[in-house]
Chains A and B, each alone.
Chain A
Amino acid sequence: MNDIIWNDRTDETPWPNNAQLFQPLELEQILLPDNANCLYIQTFLRMCDLDFEIIYRSNAEFMSPSGKVPFLKCGPYICEADAIVNFVNNKGYSLSKDLDPSNKADLRAFTSLVNSVLVFAELYITWCEPSVYNEVTRPRYGSGYPWPLNTVLTYKKRKQVIKMLKPHGFYDMSINEVYKKVETCCQCLSTKLDNNNYFFGEQPTEFDALVFGHVYTILTTPLPTNKFSAIVRGFPNIVAHCERIEKTYYPSDKSRK
């Protein structure tokens, strides 16, 4: 509800110099879907040329009011995940304000495509695919907690994710059906991108940040099965788009491979 209040309010106070982005520990804890989201928001803030500091906390998920990571602490305000883009837009920094209405509608449609396919596919791979769950998710998610809390919390989170996937039909799919959906989604994105530098015109928008966040994470996260990244690699223009953004916005970042 508070998100809605923010969305309606245009806040012209300048960007504070102590904005902090909270996310889980990158090295030992963060999982594929959260990592994609964190990278999306980081890239978006960099594209807006806004100063922020990344703070790693093992309890970031629980500090966030909605349980979603990352969340932004900007002065007295706290907002998380998708609400960050609106919050920043309301501060007067927008990457998509110059788009014409039909492009704006497209941007929304594609954003919802990515959110309803890639995000759920990532959650499926992370929590429902046995090899990934046992070899990657379990040890990483429970890394910050002593026994037996690590087992209990991982089990609890898995139940929560399954509850979320069920109404979208993902939980009942086989892994191949999920890969098929991902492939269709990538095909769609690839067609939209064509040979352009960015999805909507010559300047990047928040959608470019979103795609970069997901694609980069899918390509670089080591998993027991590499089928997921192989599908994405099958679309050269998407991979090129990802590399382009990496070069532009993370020019000297050693940690990004």
Chain B
Amino acid sequence: MGTVHAKEHSTMTYGEMDRNSAVTDKKTVNLQEIQARVDKVNVEGLNRTQEDIIKRTVKELFKVNNFEEVIKEVHRTQVKLESLGCFSNISALIDVSSGPKATSQGYEVTYFVKELKRVKGSVNTVIGRDNEGSRVVGTVAPNVFGRAEKLHCEFSYGSRQTSTFNVGFYKPFILNTLAELNTSVFQNESDWPNSGYKQIDRGTSIGLGFPFMQNIRHTVQWEGCWRELNMNTRYVSFDVREESGHTLKSAVKHILTVDTRNTPLMPTFGSLLQCTSEIAGLGGNIRFLKNEVLLQHNVEIFPETVIQGSVTGGVMRPLGSQKEIHICDKFFLGGPQSLRGFISRGVGPVADKNFIGGTLYWAGALHLYAPLPFKPGAGGIGDLFRTHLFVNAGNVGSFNIDFSDRRWLHEFRESTRLAYGAGLAIRLGQLARVEINYVIPVLFDKSDGINRGVQFGIGVHFL
């Protein structure tokens, strides 16, 4: 974030208003009483960025009435400019306006920006799903056509010999609205040893996201994906082996997100509701309807002590000529990011020691987050750490859902899995989170893969 400079002695930098007014001349100035308007906004340093997106970003500045609003809006606009992802360095200057069109209460705001280079490259190491480490080589071309478009390309090679690549294109402000377009072409290899197979996904997706009122967001996405399933060994369960080979999925997905949390990683208040519906079968040879819902709520009971409750669940059924759900579309549960206390995919239906997933699932977790005891490193690195106590439960299975005969519901309820534990959660920037937990599974099936004791997890989405 850049700094806001003030030229006149009586005006103060934003965020330091109270302190300055107390220290410098011991005189309180009510900024709200100072009439002000913005006459002119300059943005210096634009080269290839198109004017229209800058205009829409700064236009709120012209609506201010007093000097406090000027300062706040200058800051807000600066954040908006940063979020365009086109500039590497932004600073702002507020000056009294001059020139023939200047008004008496007029101010002039100047932003000094530095555009990002046309191409940026990076090499890094990441730890992703199931704690698999991988090297990622990527290049990004920000602001390709001058309207904050982004073209990016990544290639990664993992410690389990899985490689992925992804070429994506992102475009905001379609037809001058807030809608965003996301397209990508990808190849993704993943290994599921607990299910006995390796999967290669090759495909393309195109998605349209648009905000709808405050905090609500719709995303509509189409994905065409060619999946190839290969067995890991000769001794994989025959039920899994039967699914080998190639399938083509063409699916439309709708995601509704209502997010009132203050931050996605370790929020302290607010809630999240996410409803996902996916229908596959517009072309391709996979037909199903899948619905999932996720609800999370956070309550701060004492300062920095937060109770978080999450519930998630999903149901799917085959459509049309398809009678069975393919294994790579099914729901799986277990692992450090979903149901703690179980190995990855370690819950639910099993065929000869291979977990085959189910068509119905639910999971819930209750966390109590608190800062480290005695708060070492408070205000600095210590803020990245949280201790937590948790209980999580869930179940996954394939049931023939019949509302007149409730036996399936009974069975589903009877076989609930439950585990509790305590541990440390570490936030890595705004990107990911690491958890080291000690977990004790309480309710489990004898065929489940349980993880009693220390469990380590890293990722973005946690239950």
B244 touches A149 (CB 8 A): no
A59 touches B245 (CB 8 A): yes
| Least CB distance, B407 to chain A, in whole angstroms | 30
Q: Which of B65-73, B95-103, B234-242, B311-319 contacts A (4 or more CB under 8 A)?
A: B234-242
Q: In the complex, what distance in Å separates the CA atom of A125 from the CA atom of B374?
A: 79
Q: In the complex, what distance in Å separates the CA atom of A91 from the CA atom of B173?
A: 71
B234 touches A63 (CB 8 A): no
Complex interface: chain A residues within 8 A of B246 (CB): 59, 62, 145, 149, 153
Kindly supply a per-residue 1/0 record for chain A positions 174-200, scoring 1 wherever the CB is within 8 Å of any chain B CB and 0 otherwise: 000000000000000000000000000
Pick the contact of A63: B226, B235, B244, B285 (CB < 8 A).
Answer: B244
A146 touches B283 (CB 8 A): yes
Complex interface: chain A residues within 8 A of B242 (CB): 57, 59, 63
A146 touches B244 (CB 8 A): no
User: 26 A–B contact pairs at CB < 8 A?
Assistant: A2-B234, A57-B242, A59-B242, A59-B244, A59-B245, A59-B246, A61-B245, A62-B229, A62-B245, A62-B246, A63-B241, A63-B242, A63-B245, A65-B234, A73-B238, A76-B235, A78-B234, A78-B238, A145-B285, A146-B248, A146-B285, A149-B226, A149-B246, A149-B248, A149-B285, A152-B226
Q: In the complex, what distance in Å separates the CA atom of A149 from the CA atom of B227?
A: 10
Q: In the complex, what distance in Å separates the CA atom of A237 from the CA atom of B395?
A: 66
| Least CB distance, B304 to chain A, in whole angstroms | 53
Nearest opposing residue in chain B for A156, CB measure = B246
Pick the contact of A145: B229, B238, B244, B248 (CB < 8 A).
Answer: B248
Q: In the complex, what distance in Å separates the CA atom of A2 from the CA atom of B245?
A: 22
Within 8 A of A (CB), among B215-248: 226, 229-231, 234-235, 238, 241-242, 244-246, 248
Nearest opposing residue in chain A for B242, CB measure = A63
Q: Please classify how large the interface on chain B is, using the bins under 10, 10 to 19, 20 to 34, 35 or more.
A: 10 to 19
6 closest A-B pairs (Cβ-Cβ)? A62-B245, A59-B245, A62-B244, A149-B248, A63-B244, A65-B234
Complex interface: chain B residues within 8 A of A62 (CB): 229-230, 244-246
Kindly supply a per-residue 1/0 record for chain A positions 143-162, scoring 1 wherever the CB is within 8 Å of any chain B CB and 0 otherwise: 00111010011000000000
Q: Please classify how large the interface on chain A is, using the bins under 10, 10 to 19, 20 to 34, 35 or more.
A: 10 to 19
Complex interface: chain B residues within 8 A of A73 (CB): 238
A146 touches B226 (CB 8 A): no
Within 8 A of A (CB), among B46-62: none
Nearest opposing residue in chain A for B229, CB measure = A62
Interface residues of B (CB under 8 A from A): 226, 229-231, 234-235, 238, 241-242, 244-246, 248, 283-285
Complex interface: chain A residues within 8 A of B241 (CB): 63, 78
A65 touches B231 (CB 8 A): yes
Q: In the complex, what distance in Å separates the CA atom of A76 from the CA atom of B235?
A: 8
Nearest opposing residue in chain A for B202, CB measure = A152
Nearest opposing residue in chain A for B231, CB measure = A65
Complex interface: chain B residues within 8 A of A2 (CB): 234
Q: In the complex, what distance in Å separates the CA atom of A78 from the CA atom of B231?
A: 13
With A61-B245, A145-B248, A147-B283 known, 5 other A-B pairs at CB within 8 A are A63-B241, A63-B245, A146-B283, A149-B248, A152-B226
Complex interface: chain B residues within 8 A of A145 (CB): 246, 248, 285
Complex interface: chain A residues within 8 A of B235 (CB): 76
Q: In the complex, what distance in Å separates the CA atom of A240 from the CA atom of B241?
A: 41
Q: In the complex, what distance in Å separates the CA atom of A220 from the CA atom of B246?
A: 30
Nearest opposing residue in chain B for A79, CB measure = B234
| Least CB distance, A21 to chain B, in whole angstroms | 14
Within 8 A of B (CB), among A62-81: 62-63, 65, 73, 76, 78
Q: In the complex, what distance in Å separates the CA atom of A57 from the CA atom of B243?
A: 11
Complex interface: chain B residues within 8 A of A146 (CB): 248, 283-285
Q: In the complex, what distance in Å separates the CA atom of A61 from the CA atom of B244?
A: 9
Kindly supply a per-residue 1/0 record for chain A positions 31-66, scoring 1 wherever the CB is within 8 Å of any chain B CB and 0 otherwise: 000000000000000000000000001010111010
Complex interface: chain A residues within 8 A of B231 (CB): 65
| Least CB distance, A149 to chain B, in whole angstroms | 5
Nearest opposing residue in chain A for B230, CB measure = A62
Q: In the complex, what distance in Å separates the CA atom of A120 from the CA atom of B242?
A: 29
Q: In the complex, what distance in Å separates the CA atom of A194 from the CA atom of B242?
A: 45
Q: Which of B229, B231, B241 is the most central at the interface, judged by chain A CB atoms within 10 Å of its CB? A: B241
Q: In the complex, what distance in Å separates the CA atom of A146 from the CA atom of B284?
A: 6
| Least CB distance, A97 to chain B, in whole angstroms | 27
| Least CB distance, A144 to chain B, in whole angstroms | 8
Nearest opposing residue in chain A for B238, CB measure = A73
Within 8 A of B (CB), among A112-143: none
Q: In the complex, what distance in Å separates the CA atom of A57 from the CA atom of B244?
A: 11
Q: In the complex, what distance in Å separates the CA atom of A63 from the CA atom of B242?
A: 6
Q: In the complex, what distance in Å separates the CA atom of A152 from the CA atom of B228?
A: 12
Nearest opposing residue in chain B for A57, CB measure = B242
Q: In the complex, what distance in Å separates the CA atom of A208 from the CA atom of B284?
A: 43
Q: In the complex, what distance in Å separates the CA atom of A62 from the CA atom of B231?
A: 9
Complex interface: chain B residues within 8 A of A152 (CB): 226
Q: Which of B230, B245, B248 is the most central at the interface, judged by chain A CB atoms within 10 Å of its CB? A: B245
Within 8 A of B (CB), among A90-108: none
Complex interface: chain B residues within 8 A of A57 (CB): 242
Nearest opposing residue in chain B for A63, CB measure = B244
| Least CB distance, A128 to chain B, in whole angstroms | 23
Complex interface: chain A residues within 8 A of B285 (CB): 145-146, 149
| Least CB distance, B272 to chain A, in whole angstroms | 37
Q: In the complex, what distance in Å separates the CA atom of A130 from the CA atom of B156?
A: 39
| Least CB distance, B233 to chain A, in whole angstroms | 8
Q: In the complex, what distance in Å separates the CA atom of A210 from the CA atom of B248?
A: 36
Complex interface: chain A residues within 8 A of B230 (CB): 62
Q: In the complex, what distance in Å separates the CA atom of A146 from the CA atom of B241?
A: 21
Q: In the complex, what distance in Å separates the CA atom of A45 from the CA atom of B231?
A: 27
Q: In the complex, what distance in Å separates the CA atom of A247 from the CA atom of B231?
A: 40
Q: In the complex, what distance in Å separates the CA atom of A61 from the CA atom of B238?
A: 14
Q: Which of B231, B234, B235, B283 is the most central at the interface, judged by chain A CB atoms within 10 Å of its CB? A: B234
| Least CB distance, A63 to chain B, in whole angstroms | 5
